[in-house]
Amino acid sequence: MLASLLRIVALTRKELLAVLKDRRARMSLLIPPILQCLLFGYAATYDLSHIPYAVLDRSHSTASQDLLARFDGTRLFERVANLSTQRQVRDSIDDRRALLAIEIPADFARRLQAGGADLQIIADGRNSNTAGTALGYAQSVVDDFNSDWRADHGQAGPPVMVAARAWYNPNLVTRWNMIPGLIGTLTMIQTLMLTAMSVAREREQGTFDQLLVTPFRPAEIMAGKALPSMLVGIIQATGVLLVAQVWFRIPFQGSFLTLYAGLTLFVLAAVGVGLVVSALCQTMQQAMLFSFILIMPFALLSGLTTPISNMPLSLQYFTFINPLRYAIDITQRVYLEGAGAGVLMPDLWPLAAIAAATLAAASWLFKRL
* 143-174 tens-digit pLDDT: 888 888 887 776 666 677 887 888 888 877 77
Judged by average pLDDT, the poorest of 95-104, 199-208, 323-332 is 199-208
**What pLDDT is recorded for position 291?**
83
Does position 227 have pLDDT exceeding 90, yes or no? no
Q: 141 vs 40, which has greater pLDDT?
A: 141
**What pLDDT is recorded for position 266?**
93
Which pTM value belongs to this model?
0.75
* Tens digit of each residue's pLDDT (9 = 90 or more) over 23-65: 766 665 666 666 656 665 665 566 677 889 999 988 888 888 9
**What pLDDT is recorded for position 330?**
92
Residues 6+ apart with CB under 8 A from 115: 155, 157, 159
* Tens digit of each residue's pLDDT (9 = 90 or more) over 10-30: 656 665 666 567 676 666 566
Band of pLDDT at residue 351, cut at 50, 70 and 90:
very high
**Domain spans, the chain:** 51-167, 173-368
Task: Give domain 51-167's CATH superfamily.
Answer: abc type-2 transporter like domain (3.40.1710.10)
* Tens digit of each residue's pLDDT (9 = 90 or more) over 166-190: 888 887 777 888 888 888 888 888 8
222, with CB counted inside 10 A (0-12, 13-18, 19+), is buried
**What pLDDT is recorded for position 257?**
93
Does position 268 have pLDDT exceeding 80, yes or no? yes
**What pLDDT is recorded for position 151?**
78
**What pLDDT is recorded for position 260?**
93
**What pLDDT is recorded for position 216?**
66
Does position 358 have pLDDT exceeding 60, yes or no? yes
**What pLDDT is recorded for position 31?**
67
Judged by average pLDDT, the poorest of 21-30, 123-132, 308-317 is 21-30
What percentage of the chain carries pLDDT values higher than 90? Answer: 14
**What pLDDT is recorded for position 22?**
67
